[in-house]
Amino acid sequence: MVAYPHPVIRMPIICHHCRKPKCAENCPTDAIEVRDGVVVIDEEKCISCRQCVISCPFGAVFTHEDIETPFKCDLCGGDPECVKACPKQALIFVPEHMIGEEHRVSSLLKYAKMKEIEYVEQGEKKILKYAETEKVTDGGAS
Ligand code: SF4
Ligand code: SF4
């Protein structure tokens, strides 16, 4: 986890387990492998060159002065400890096909709360009120 040097903003930086991991692409010893969809560092093959640290676009590979090789999230064998430990349930572990679900739900809610929609028809700006949409729907159904 990284706490940004900012009084308010604190956010976790975690590995995305990319399908095409930049960290692995730039590893000179092929020490980074994808095993069952999880991107892992093989410490035996690693020469500690830190290329992976530089290559990850998210800063998800870490180093520590007491640890010889870089390290990163390995999903704890499929049962991530960070998710269990988070006191605010801010972290959730979901199947890959659920990625984006939160955005989809939040978009739906935004539409549901909209009172009117602005659009342009033949160059003319128009406003469709939500109530009018309901009327049209009712009329169409009868
Ligand atoms: S360490 Fe970075 S580049 Fe590598 S898989 Fe994770 S997020 Fe992707
Ligand atoms: S530090 Fe290790 S895992 Fe990272 S790029 Fe270098 S050899 Fe590969």
**CB burial of residue 32 (10 Å; 0-12, 13-18, 19+):** buried
Amino acid at 127: I
In the chain, what are the domains? 22-93 (3.30.70.20), 101-141 (no CATH)
The count of other CB atoms within 10 Å of the CB of residue 72 is: 19
32: β partners? 41
* Residues 40/75, Cβ–Cβ less than 8 Å: no
Cα 19 to averaged position of ligand 1 atoms, centre (Å): 9
Q: What angle do CA 82, 87, 88 make, to 5 degrees?
A: 100
Cα 112 to averaged position of ligand 2 atoms, centre (Å): 48
Higher pLDDT: 94 or 33? It is: 33
pLDDT at residue 38 is higher than 70: yes
Binding-site residues, ligand 1, Cβ < 6 A: 15-18, 21-23, 39, 56, 58, 60-61, 72
pLDDT of residue 53: 97
Q: Is the CB of 24 under 6 A from ligand 2?
A: no
Q: How many residues does the chain have?
A: 142
The count of other CB atoms within 10 Å of the CB of residue 53 is: 18
pTM score > 0.85 for this model?
no
**Which tens digit of pLDDT belongs to each residue from 53-80?**
999 999 999 999 999 999 999 999 899 9
